[in-house]
Structure 1
Amino acid sequence: MQSLTRILIPRQLFTLLILSTGLLNHVILIPNLLTASGRDSWLSVLLCFPVALFFLWLVSYIVKNCPDEGFFSMVQNRFGKVFSAILSLPVVLFLFCSSYLTFKDLVIWLNAYFLADASLLMINIMLIVVCCAVTWAGIRSMAISSGFLLPLVMIFGIFIAITNTSVKDPQLLFPLLADGYEPVINGGIYTLAGLLEIYLVILLQPFSQARIKFHQLLVLLIILIGLILGPLTAAIMEFGPTEAVTFRYPAYEQWRILKIGDFISHLDFFALYQWLSGAVIRIGLFMYLLGAFFTKKKHHYRLNAKLVIIMYLLLFVAIMIDVDTYTFTQVIYQYFLPACMAFFLIQILISALLIFVIKKRDEKHGNDTRINSTG
């Protein structure tokens, strides 16, 4: 990941992360969290905040002490290409698998609620073309687009939260710990899988014109927690803990029961805007970051068109493999999200340890405390 153009301010990077990780926390994470913890799922989110705060501090430590070209460029220059490839491989796998699962989940949702009679092949082709265009347009175009998309996404979210207040029963959030501590611990696994995506800040740092501060990351973490807690507690208060677990998309079901007076209802097309905005940016961004690992020289902020086409052809082939919905959801619940949690924990700890070792070695040899790409 060398020769990157520093073209974005931190605020633009955070809009990208709020849209992309927000989709995970808002859509994919909540049904799995409800399955794991039921009524206690919202308590799991609150109890995970101190843990996430510690790893947020580690991410801030890594970003603060990395050279301008980024963490992985520094690792390659310091430890060689082999070690860098080994450390990068889990990140590459995560980016591709997450893009695939986001794409697949979006198609399942569209086919179930909006395009039941449409050809799956046509849906896949149209979405692949759109996401491919977003990736090829570059991270600057994605960031600018996110700046326009995110305000409406947030407005719609606040709108649904307020208008459904009359059907919410806060008493359904209690009693807590009725089944002991195990559900809370299980829910923590899925919560951290969403919150620790703040690790992506390390991948985005080379594009930032200014140094990313800890307080900015803290605000981002609080927003990500809110994106889980809001629809999660609303689902429990509106449907009850037993019924909420049965829904595949609890956040969307909240749109389906929305009603204003006697004449205004069926406003769930607003959810379509939210879902597509988050999914397209998430897939486009992750595939862009994936391509950055295979690009030595970049022209401005765009990837090579051939590389983008090859990556999306591989993604399209993976998408076209027939996987039934039940198996897909079980893979996410039993394997993908727990693996993501473990991946982020290990990757952040290893990255922080490498920065610490390099920093101590440079101090011992009388170099600057700010780490350079070469020792």
Structure 2
Amino acid sequence: MQHTEKITGNQLGILLFSFIASTIVLTIPGLMAMFAKQDAWISVIPSTTTGLLSIWVMTKLANRYPGLTIIAYSQKILGKWLGTCLGLYYIYFWFMSISIMTIQHTFFIKTLLLPRSPSIIGSLTLLILCGLAVYMGIEVIGRCSEFLTPLKLVFLIPLLILTIGAADHEQLKPVLADGFLPVLQGAILPAGAFMNQLFILGWLLPYLNQPQKAFKISLYALICIFVFIFIIVLSTILVLGSLTGQLNYSYLSVMQYIGIEGSFERLEAIAVMVWVIGSFVKVSVSLFILSISISQIFGIRNYRDLVAPITLLCLIGSVWVFKNGAELQTYLTLIYPSGGFVTQSLIPLLLLLIDTIKRKAMPSAH
């Protein structure tokens, strides 16, 4: 299957970085510190293993089925009926993911910026913008990310430098006071829920203009994600210490603390900018994936015909998926890590294993 839309290697790398690192920058230190406490910065290191696994599995499958998405080659590996069932499951997964991402964005904006605005307004504005980007195509989403992500880093890097003055290395002690088990528990969250989101390669690699560079580009993106999250988590613990695990948006609190210490005003505006840019890229890519998944399962020639109704359905989904921020926090902490691991790592790994067994059993068929 040939795709007329193409993205460059740089655009793919930036999309992967922005998709995973953009929104979790404000929340991940607190979520990890709930388990690992002051050792949360160590937890970032083992959390990258599932990211490596996802890259290896998705690029391996893409090389065996060039030009096909995971929806298309699942039917070749599992057969039409089982492959279609898996495709329908992924459609459900992405619909729920977009609904959750949208309401998470809305809760954040309501908490920090517009507490009296109806939730549906925040969700509607984000989804309309993302729907327009998806309708224009993956090339436009890639170009937007290529422009917006460096802009976001221009504002974040000076903030990270400012945290040096407020850092206290005593906050890291005692190191491994409770052993290595809490560190592994802290690693489960980013590993199960975030690092393995690199499985979006299963939908994006067919649009890469240089498929032979897919593994190298993805690996560079993973390294950048690891370094970025490591610095964010470490700096948050150095500033907030034991408070990190008690805050939903811990790095936002770091920004506010820096503002007070350095007499800067309204630094949370940078947090809003980072969050909105990250949400735009993440929801746009997810909406694109959902649209092409439905078009391939049901044989619809042009996925753009589906963008408007899917966007509306996701708006409805965002309204009923969670009633409040506490339910969202419980989901992100306790439910999504295991569900994300199964959906994003285990299922693709099983596809590769089944395909390998079939190739060895029937070498002439390939």
1: CA distance, partners of 2:120 / 2:55? 41
CA contact (8 A) 1:236 1:244 kept: yes
Runs of 4+ in 1 over 4 A off after TM superposition: 260-263
Query: Residues 266-305 of structure 1: matches in 2 within 5 Å?
Result: 266-295=266-295, 296-299=299-302, 303-305=303-305
Aligned to 1:206: 206
Distance 1:71-1:253 versus aligned 2 partners, 3 A rule: same
Distance 1:51 1:170 in 2: 30
Q: Is the 8 A contact 1:67 1:74 kept in 2?
A: no
Change over 3 Å in CA distance of 1:298–1:21 after alignment to 2: farther
Asked if the contact 1:33–1:190 (Cα under 8 Å) also holds between the matched residues in 2, the reply is yes
Inter-CA distance 125–54: structure 2 relative to 1 (3 Å threshold): closer
Distance 1:246 1:184, change over 3 A: same
Q: 1:130 aligns to what SS in structure 2?
A: helix
State the Cα distance separating 1:62 from its structure 2 match: 2.3
Higher helix share: 2
- Say whether residues 1:181 and 2:163 are aligned partners: no
**1:208-263 per-position Cα deviation (integer Å, ceiling 9, x unaligned):** 111134322221111121232122111110011x2111111112222212349965
| 1:314 and 2:330 matched | no
Distance 1:67 1:290 in 2: 20
Deviation at 1:276, TM superposition (A): 0.7
Partner of 1:370: none
State the shift of 1:152 in Å.
Answer: 0.9
Identity percentage of aligned residues: 19
CA distance in structure 1 between the partners assigned to 2:354 and 2:4 by the alignment: 25
Listed one character per residue, the Cα deviations across residues 83-106 of structure 1 (whole Å, up to 9, x for unaligned) are 212332443233222212211111
Distance (Å, rounded) in 1 between the aligned partners of 2:23 and 2:338:
14
Corresponding residue for residue 164 of structure 2: 165
The CA deviation at 1:51 is 5.2
Aligned-partner SS, 1:294: helix
- Kindly report the root-mean-square deviation, in angstroms, between the aligned alpha carbons of the 2 structures: 2.3
Q: Per the alignment, do residues 80 and 312 of structure 1 end up closer, same or farther by CA in structure 2, a change over 3 Å counting?
A: same
Q: Which amino acid aligns with 1:17?
A: L
Conservation of the 8 A alpha-carbon contact between 1:199 and 1:344: yes
Tell me what 2:349 maps to. Answer: 349
Taking structure 1 as reference, are residues 134 and 82 closer, same or farther at Cα in structure 2, changes over 3 Å only?
same
For the Cα contact (< 8 Å) 1:4–1:298, is it kept in 2? no
Instruction: Tell me the CA shift for residue 38 of structure 1.
Output: 1.6
Structure 1, unpaired ranges of 5+: 368-374
More moved, 226-235 vs 68-77: 68-77
2:237 corresponds in structure 1 to 236
Cα distance in 2 for partners of 1:140, 1:271 equals 27
Deviation at 1:28, TM superposition (A): 4.2
Q: Which residue is equivalent to 1:372?
A: none
Give distance in 2, aligned partners of 1:71 and 1:181. 36
CA separation in 1, counterparts of 2:41 and 2:232?
10
- For residues 263 and 324 of structure 1, the distance between their equivalents in structure 2, rounded to whole angstroms, comes to 34
Q: Which residue of 2 aligns with 1:331?
A: 331
What whole-Å deviation, never above 9, does each CA across 1:300-336 have from its counterpart, x for those lacking one? xxx333x222212221112222602212211221112
Any idea what the Cα deviations from partners look like across 1:96-152, whole Å, max 9, x if unmatched? 222122111111111111112323332232223222222222211111111110111
Distance change in 2, residues 1:339/1:261 (3 Å): closer
Distance 1:157 1:90, change over 3 A: farther
Q: TM (normalized to structure 2)? A: 0.90
- TM-score, normalisation: structure 1: 0.88
